[in-house]
Structure 1
Amino acid sequence: MNLKKNWKARSLLAASLGACLLAAQTPAAAQAPWPEKPITMVVPYSAGGPTDVVARMLAIPMGKSLGQTVIVENTVGAGGTIAPARVAKAAPNGYTILIHHMGMATAPALYKKLNYDPLKDFEYVGQVMDVPMTLLSRKDFPASNFQELLAYVKTNKDKVTLANAGIGAVSQLCGMLFAHQIGVQLTTVPYKGAGPALNDLMGGQVDLLCDQTTQTAPVIKDGNRVKVFGVTTPRRLSSMPNIPTLDEQGLKGFDVKVWHGIYAPKGTPPAVMEKLNTALRAALQDDMVKHRFAELSTEAVPMDKVTPEALRTHLAAETEKWGKVIRAAGVQAD
């Protein structure tokens, strides 16, 4: 009997130890490695537009860092607000992320109703880049320099058309600021993306466009497809030093740069956010990405801005800044 009792006791002890060991291992086993499948990077604008170009430049090196494909998906409409709303409602697992420009900061003032709150419904991966903008015209526009442009626009303001990529697009904001600063009302022509707007400018269907160098630099460098009247940054661009700034030509304080950031749904686990941030930082230091950025007259933000905290702070500041400008202009969409 003693032998039987000892055997039973040992069996119970072994079973108990096994259960404890299994329980101890369960949390680690439950944490499956991430990512296990492709990640979708949602772009609020059409394929071929400036934000799409940036997304596709980052997708390959980010995917390489993460060990999974990063798929770029264009979800267009409603001035770039459909895509953020979709990502805000996506499962918070890191498999659906958003790349967006300063439209994240302007949307709260531009739209009466939003299906998301940029400051509450997202986790922040990090800032990406600051993109300069350029003021262009069709190649046969009557003016040959900025002073002639101002004179012509003020005299013919009812005839001049100003294209943009749609309500909420940075091209709309830049054009609105330009018109406000020179004191005229221009006829705006909204498009479904920057690509179609630029195509019609080159085709002579519209007169003016203010858009990002990621879109305009190639046609400017081509030399005979558009006229360029200035860049929107306080300093000239090293890649196009012969183009003066709007500020130095008389529009004092004119400074519009398009910043981009990457976001994930609120509640995405910190470990996943850390991996996304690491992948973004690696992508921005990739030699091919740096080369492509230089070709498009832009560059990545400093690494101390490629953080969740920096993007969160910048978004809040830009929301306040552009909110004042938009409300003062009386521009709002339904």
Structure 2
Amino acid sequence: MNPLLKTLAPVALAAVATVGAHAADFPVKDKVVSIVVPFAAGGPTDRVARDLAEALRKPLGATVVVENAAGAGGTIGANKVAKAQPDGHTVLLHHIGMSTQPALYRNLPYKTMDDFEFLGMVNDVPMTVIGRSTLPANNFAELRTWMNANKGKVNLANAGLGAASHLCGLMFMEAMQFDMTTVPYKGTGPAMTDLLGGQVDLMCDQTTNTSGQIEAKKVKAFAVTTAKRLSTPALKDLPTLQEVGMKNFEVTIWHGMYAPKGTPAATVKKLNDALKVALKDPEFIKKQEGLGAIVVTDKRLEPAEHKKFVAAEIAKWGPVIKKAGVYAD
């Protein structure tokens, strides 16, 4: 054997053994598992993460905490995980932004499909088309009539560039073939405040943000964006956008879990196994249903299928975003 190779062989074997040991030991005793949320505390993704953290503690046998790393539309938190030590103790919970950021950001600091290990999907969150309580319309047909009578005057609120409400709004305008004045805000909170106050007309946003306002009759609800009607009491009477004539209109704001690229396969399996157990937790399911979210039970729970799904979503949203001409540096 080459003397150099002879010298390096034990080192290489030791490195492999160390990685294997770390994978086998995961989670390390007395070391927390951090779920990084790339948005501010109190938002819909943060709520999902905190519910998930509780459900993961038992199957992982570890303390699970939520760490908020907000900014730049979720890219700061995602990049933090992409660059983290790949030992399973730092994971990411992100929503549909994982599939829209490649088109929205010219200088994305990571490669979505290459820099993460995909751990499995968590939930699907439907969207609702809602309006200010003072709108004269009370159903979708009346809304369409009112919009046509007010061309050039209708405005549509969103929570900022790349937000779920922004993306849904883009698709809604395209499907309606109706131009509206979009009004971006710095978050869902201020957007909803102005909708409640009657300063803006419409918004398309997640049930996690709208269900309570709909139930309290503080806003008017016109439709849901899912393929089938929802069973949630506050939303069960709302038609789907497909029912009112928008073929193939289906938008859900899903959440998935990720680890840094290079996380050992054994650790990825432990995280995936724990996620599958957590998503069957009755308390977690109850909390998600209360938010109008649907816990994932299909093949997207498998890492490979999760990755395939995100790739399809990137292909779906890229043309929509490029057509709208919206970009961030």
Question: How would you bin the TM-score normalised by the shorter chain?
Answer: 0.7 to 0.9
**Cα–Cα, structure 1 residues 195 and 105, in superposed 2: closer, same or farther, change >3 Å?**
same
Of 127-136 and 196-205, deviating more is: 196-205
**Cα–Cα, structure 1 residues 291 and 29, in superposed 2: closer, same or farther, change >3 Å?**
closer
- Aligned equivalent of 1:59: 53
Where structure 1 has 5 or more consecutive residues not aligned to the other structure, the ranges are 1-22
Deviations 1:229-250 (CA, angstroms, capped at 9, x unpaired): 1001121112232111111112
1:104 aligned onto 2:101: no
- C-alpha deviation, 1:32, in angstroms: 4.3
Q: Match of 2:221, as an amino acid?
A: V
- Aligned equivalent of 1:220: 214
Q: Match of 2:134, as an amino acid?
A: D
- Aligned equivalent of 2:11: none
Among 293, 308, 313, the alignment partner of 2:308 is 313
- C-alpha deviation, 1:72, in angstroms: 1.5
Q: How many pairs are equivalent? A: 309
- Aligned equivalent of 2:139: 145
| Structure 2 contact 82–110 (Cα < 8 Å) conserved | yes
TM-score after normalising by structure 1: 0.86
**Cα–Cα, structure 1 residues 244 and 274, in superposed 2: closer, same or farther, change >3 Å?**
same
1:204 aligned onto 2:167: no
- Aligned equivalent of 2:72: 78
> Equivalent residue of 2:123, what SS?
strand
Among 260, 269, 278, the alignment partner of 2:264 is 269
| Structure 2 contact 300–309 (Cα < 8 Å) conserved | no
- Aligned equivalent of 2:41: 47
Where structure 2 has 5 or more consecutive residues not aligned to the other structure, the ranges are 1-13
| Structure 2 contact 27–89 (Cα < 8 Å) conserved | no
TM-score after normalising by structure 2: 0.87
Q: Match of 2:231, as an amino acid?
A: S
**Cα–Cα, structure 1 residues 193 and 280, in superposed 2: closer, same or farther, change >3 Å?**
farther
- C-alpha deviation, 1:64, in angstroms: 2.3
1:1-334 matches, within 5 Å, as 32-36=25-29, 37-222=31-216, 224-239=217-232, 240-334=235-329
CA distance in 2, matches of 1:91, 1:64: 23
> Equivalent residue of 2:70, what SS?
coil
> Equivalent residue of 1:42, what SS?
strand
- C-alpha deviation, 1:33, in angstroms: 4.6
Q: Match of 1:132, as an amino acid?
A: P
Q: Match of 1:107, as an amino acid?
A: Q
**If you compute each CA radius of gyration, which structure gives the higher value, 1 or 2?**
1
**Cα–Cα, structure 1 residues 65 and 111, in superposed 2: closer, same or farther, change >3 Å?**
same
Deviations 1:79-103 (CA, angstroms, capped at 9, x unpaired): 2222111111111122211111111
Q: Match of 1:265, as an amino acid?
A: P
- C-alpha deviation, 1:257, in angstroms: 1.3
Q: Match of 1:243, as an amino acid?
A: L
**Cα–Cα, structure 1 residues 145 and 66, in superposed 2: closer, same or farther, change >3 Å?**
same
CA distance in 1, matches of 2:39, 2:185: 11
CA distance in 2, matches of 1:303, 1:245: 22
**Cα–Cα, structure 1 residues 205 and 56, in superposed 2: closer, same or farther, change >3 Å?**
farther
> Equivalent residue of 2:248, what SS?
coil
CA distance in 2, matches of 1:120, 1:153: 44
Of 156-165 and 123-132, deviating more is: 156-165
CA distance in 1, matches of 2:313, 2:279: 22
Give the % identical residues: 52
- Aligned equivalent of 1:17: none
Deviations 1:34-86 (CA, angstroms, capped at 9, x unpaired): 23311221112222222122111111011222222222122222222221111
> Equivalent residue of 2:200, what SS?
coil
